[in-house]
């Protein structure tokens, strides 16, 4: 498809001069586009920024935008299923930590505080993603929910690519703040999918013995990356070091 923008099975033609040559949005199983599923190739940031604006409008038009109330209800429902210290409890804690970390980056009033906050956000995001990708998504696929697992991997890969782009932007610029909000929206939507659907499937359907194993392995992977340790008994914390 060389003459239009592909949004899953939906094709938009003649959106803007040159836009079709610089943008590819991979199709999703549902035909909808995740907020983080945009891969931009332009080297001219002004061009890229105007593309983002156009694309964000398109994404908003075809992606279901859940309300804050829907997110709160999904989290409350997942919280009822979670037990203290189990994998779902840890995931929900980390989701709240991520929301707070995004807010700290946004609120930073100087370059040094923003850069430090961004590093902390990146460590949390990567540690959480590694633990989910190594432990929870495979378990979801093994329950027969391979489509959901694949979508989860795709969305987190998009966020990693966008975080790498964010690192290259001037941290106090409007471009940075626009990209940060774009990533935050993608992450929030991804967490809603996990809390509202995917992880409920895993919590409700995996056998009890497997639930315990998932918790131990999730914790192990998260701590190994975020704290450089196998458990919370030792810690040379990357979060504390800010590296």
Nearest distance from C-beta of residue 200 to Fe ion, angstroms: 13
Nearest distance from C-beta of residue 156 to Fe ion, angstroms: 8
- Output 51 or 132, the one with its CB closest to Fe ion: 132
Nearest distance from C-beta of residue 122 to Fe ion, angstroms: 15
Other residues' Cβ atoms within 10 Å of the Cβ of residue 134: 16
- Output 17 or 85, the one with its CB closest to Fe ion: 85
Closest to 239 in 3D by CA, of 104, 107, 133, 83: 104
Range 46-85, binding Fe ion (CB under 5 A)? none
Range 176-235, binding Fe ion (CB under 5 A)? 194
Range 9-28, binding Fe ion (CB under 5 A)? none
- Output 47 or 126, the one with its CB closest to Fe ion: 126
- Output 51 or 194, the one with its CB closest to Fe ion: 194
By CB under 5 A, the count of residues binding Fe ion is 1
Range 97-116, binding Fe ion (CB under 5 A)? none
Q: Which residues here bind Fe ion, judged by CB under 5 A?
A: 194
């Amino acid at each position: 498809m060389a003459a239009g923008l592909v949004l899953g099975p939906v094709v938009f033609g003649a959106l803007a001069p040159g836009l079709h040559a610089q943008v590819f949005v991979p199709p999703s199983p549902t035909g909808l586009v995740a907020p983080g599923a945009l891969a931009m190739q332009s080297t001219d940031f002004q061009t890229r920024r105007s593309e983002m604006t156009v694309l964000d409008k398109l994404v908003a038009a075809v992606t279901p935008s859940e309300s804050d109330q829907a997110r709160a209800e999904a989290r409350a429902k997942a919280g009822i299923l979670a037990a203290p210290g189990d994998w779902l409890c840890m995931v929900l804690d980390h989701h709240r930590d991520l929301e707070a970390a995004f807010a700290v980056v946004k609120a930073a009033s100087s370059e040094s505080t923003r850069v430090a906050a961004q590093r902390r956000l990146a460590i949390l995001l990567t540690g959480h993603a590694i633990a989910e990708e190594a432990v929870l998504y495979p378990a979801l696929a093994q329950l027969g929910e391979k489509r959901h697992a694949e979508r989860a991997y795709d969305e987190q890969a998009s966020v990693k690519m966008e975080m790498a782009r964010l690192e290259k932007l001037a941290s106090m610029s409007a471009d940075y703040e626009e990209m940060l909000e774009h990533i935050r929206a993608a992450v929030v939507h991804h967490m809603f999918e996990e809390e509202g659907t995917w992880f409920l499937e895993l919590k409700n359907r995996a056998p009890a013995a497997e639930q315990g194993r998932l918790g131990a392995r999730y914790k192990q992977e998260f701590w190994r990356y975020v704290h450089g340790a196998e458990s919370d008994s030792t810690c040379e914390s990357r979060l504390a070091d800010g590296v």
